[in-house]
Amino acid sequence: MKMELAKHAPARATERHVDRLATLEVAVLMGGTSSEREVSLRSGEAVARALASAPEAGAPNGPARVRSIELAPDGRWVLDGRGADPLVVLRELQPSTVFFLALHGGRGEDGTLQGLLDALGRIHTGSGVEASALCMNKHLTRLALRDAGVRVASGRLVTTAAWRADAAALLRELAALSSTGFSVKPNRGGSSVATSLLDGAEGLRAAIETVLATGDDALVEERIRGAETTCGVLGNRGGALRSLTPVEIVPKDGRFFDYQEKYSSAGAQEFCPPRSLAPKTVARIGELALLAHAAAGCDGYSRIDFMIPRDASGVEGEPVALEINTLPGMTARSLLPLAAGAEGLSFRALCVELVALALDKAAAQRS
């Protein structure tokens, strides 16, 4: 896999598209039907405000117009207070409109929406169909990362059919996977909805049934004990990739980085740069994030979550990748904007850069 990787900033995509950005119409898509709908609405509103705000001194102007589109639970797209079929709404927008995808989970992140826009020749932020579909499936992502040389936890996917066929046998097999506890989560869901961390095998049955009740498969993995971190990456396939400074996540005692810890104002503490990790570990996280982004074929941006194992004496081991987020949160509590800000990239500048990366990707596909 030939790629150009960069820890420090390459020339920004905005520098290549300053004139075009000033004339663009950007449509921010938000909402959807997944369990992360409310978070998506908050992300979309924050992005729309940022793109429509005045630029900082020396920053590029534009876009010329920002429009917000809510994907309603009934499948309609709501533009200017009117709901209509997506194709009707698309016809109302300029062919050059760039779609900023502020969706999280479900059909907004799994490649379905990306496929629609790609088929119609529309430009959108973030990854395309293949990477979106891959990264939405945590089990397949694990396999791809493992093959690329990124460490993942031992684990097994539990389907509803296999569970119904012989739950007792599955529980015996799963109990032998780990002596450190278990992580049980939906294979396709996000924001830690229906996720459980267990100290032992005793709660496995209930945790798996909680996930299966959502209609998803359950991914059961060895629990990795240590520091929770995440690392953002900016860039497209075939171009320079830049990893941002990792963020260390410190949930409240007795909790993990669940939905409340992610989005509540009284949730987890986040430190960028990490407060407790060795410099070589921080550097390694950045290297592995670049490798994961490239291995999955991501475009625009991604955020890769890791656990950093620590032994009894506190020695840090090789980072363990948990998942790749192709449309990470863009709220006031979100981690990608935090990491970008730590490197001098304002929220508005980050949003504009993602639009410019979408323009880069479209230009590369045409050439």
* Per-residue pLDDT tens digits for 338-356: 999 999 999 999 999 999 9
Report the 10 Å Cβ neighbour count for 79: 18
Looking at the domain that runs over 135-151+224-342, which CATH code has it been given?
A: 3.30.470.20
> What's the pLDDT tens digit per position in 107-166?
999 999 999 999 999 999 999 999 999 999 999 999 999 999 999 999 999 999 999 999
> What's the pLDDT tens digit per position in 232-255?
999 999 899 999 999 999 987 655
Determine whether 329 is an active site residue. Answer: yes
Q: Which of 303, 334, 348, 360 does the annotation list as catalytic?
A: 303
Q: Sketch the domain layout of the chain as residue ranges.
A: 9-125+345-366, 135-151+224-342, 155-222
Confidence of residue 209 (pLDDT cuts 50, 70, 90): very high
Determine whether 333 is an active site residue. Answer: no
User: Considering the chain, what is the average pLDDT of its residues?
Assistant: 92
More confident residue, 184 or 193: 184
Evaluate if residue 326 carries a pLDDT over 70.
yes
User: Which of 88-97, 261-270, 330-339 shows the lowest mean pLDDT across its residues?
Assistant: 261-270
Q: Which of 109, 248, 299, 305 does the annotation list as catalytic?
A: 305
Evaluate if residue 276 carries a pLDDT over 70.
yes
Closest CA to 354 of 46, 32, 39: 46
Choices 3.40.50.20, 3.40.630.30, 3.30.1490.190, 3.30.1360.120: CATH for 9-125+345-366: 3.40.50.20
Q: Is the dihedral of CA 314, 317, 322, 325 positive or negative?
A: positive
pLDDT of residue 212: 97
Closest CA to 235 of 144, 126, 341, 338: 126
pLDDT of residue 289: 98
Q: Which of 323, 334, 348, 360 does the annotation list as catalytic?
A: 323
Confidence of residue 8 (pLDDT cuts 50, 70, 90): very low
Closest CA to 335 of 237, 246, 213, 204: 246
pLDDT of residue 10: 52
Q: Which of 142, 329, 348, 353 does the annotation list as catalytic?
A: 329
Evaluate if residue 197 carries a pLDDT over 60.
yes
* Rounded average pLDDT over 42-46: 98
Confidence of residue 194 (pLDDT cuts 50, 70, 90): confident
Q: Which of 43, 263, 267, 300 does the annotation list as catalytic?
A: 263
What distances in angstroms separate CA 55 from CA 13, 288, 292, 316, 352, one per listed residue? Answer: 16, 33, 33, 42, 10
pLDDT of residue 254: 53
User: Which of 22-26, 144-148, 301-305, 328-332 shows the lowest mean pLDDT across its residues?
Assistant: 328-332
Q: The tokens of 195 are what?
A: 């996720």
Looking at the domain that runs over 155-222, which CATH code has it been given?
A: 3.30.1490.20
Determine whether 35 is an active site residue. Answer: no
More confident residue, 11 or 147: 147
Q: Which of 36, 221, 299, 360 does the annotation list as catalytic?
A: 36
Q: Which of 40, 187, 325, 334 does the annotation list as catalytic?
A: 325
Confidence of residue 266 (pLDDT cuts 50, 70, 90): low
Evaluate if residue 2 carries a pLDDT over 60.
no
pLDDT of residue 257: 46
pLDDT of residue 265: 56
pLDDT of residue 126: 98
Determine whether 305 is an active site residue. Answer: yes
Determine whether 313 is an active site residue. Answer: no
Q: In the chain, pLDDT over 90 holds for what percent of residues? A: 85
Evaluate if residue 256 carries a pLDDT over 60.
no
pLDDT of residue 332: 77
Determine whether 303 is an active site residue. Answer: yes
* Rounded average pLDDT over 289-312: 97
For residues 60 and 348, the answer to whether their CB atoms sit within 8 Å is no
**∠ CA 150-221-324, rounded to 5°:** 45
Determine whether 191 is an active site residue. Answer: yes
Confidence of residue 62 (pLDDT cuts 50, 70, 90): confident
* Rounded average pLDDT over 294-305: 98
Domain 135-151+224-342 identical in fold to domain 155-222: no
Q: The tokens of 1 are what?
A: 């896999």
Determine whether 199 is an active site residue. Answer: no
pLDDT of residue 251: 82
pLDDT of residue 11: 63
